[in-house]
Structure 1
Amino acid sequence: MEVKIGVQHAPREIVLESEQSAEDVERAVAEALSGKAQLLSLTDEKGRKVLVPSDRLAYVEIGEPTVRRVGFGPL
């Protein structure tokens, strides 16, 4: 699933593909925004961790799960 994170005072957003479910990402964002966690911590599909200070979060966009298409059918 694609996750886009906007960071305050940063010209570009962070984009990552994660194997975490939408509920897990939403739970992590809610904990970071409520003050329970000082960092938003997400793991991408290659196992790398992305850490963003919760006081610098501008927005988080959670995309649809990616479906890998195989074959020669119409797009």
Structure 2
Amino acid sequence: MDVRIGVTQAPREIGIELAVGADRDELKTRIEAALAGATDVLAITDKRGNQTFVPSAKIAYVELGSPDGERKIGFGG
């Protein structure tokens, strides 16, 4: 699953690729808490074990990719 985070006053977004078995609902709950101001920092661990920390006040948007992590190529469905 891919996560893209837009940061205010930054020209590029942050892209994070999560492990295949990542819990989408748990991540969504943490993102919602960060956007609501319940936490000061959103911390996400990628599939290699690297951690990314983003201040909640600087988050412009968060986009969650498909839960299966599968990307489709071409015109087929």
TM-score range, shorter chain: 0.7 to 0.9
Unaligned runs of 5+ in 2: 72-77
2:69 to 59, 66, 70: 66
Q: Which residue of 2 aligns with 1:37?
A: 39
Q: Which residue of 1 aligns with 2:74?
A: none
Q: Which runs of 4+ in 1 moved over 3 A?
A: none
**Count of matched residue positions in the alignment of Structure 1 and Structure 2:** 68
RMSD between aligned residues: 1.5
Aligned sequence identity (%):
40
Deviation at 1:21, TM superposition (A): 2.2
Q: Which residue of 1 aligns with 2:75?
A: none
Larger radius of gyration: 1
SS, match of residue 12 in structure 2: coil
Compute the TM-score of the two structures, normalised by the length of structure 1.
Answer: 0.82
Deviations 1:32-59 (A, max 9, x none): 1122210011110000111000000000
In structure 2, distance between residues paired with 1:13 and 1:2? 12
Q: Which residue of 1 aligns with 2:58?
A: 56
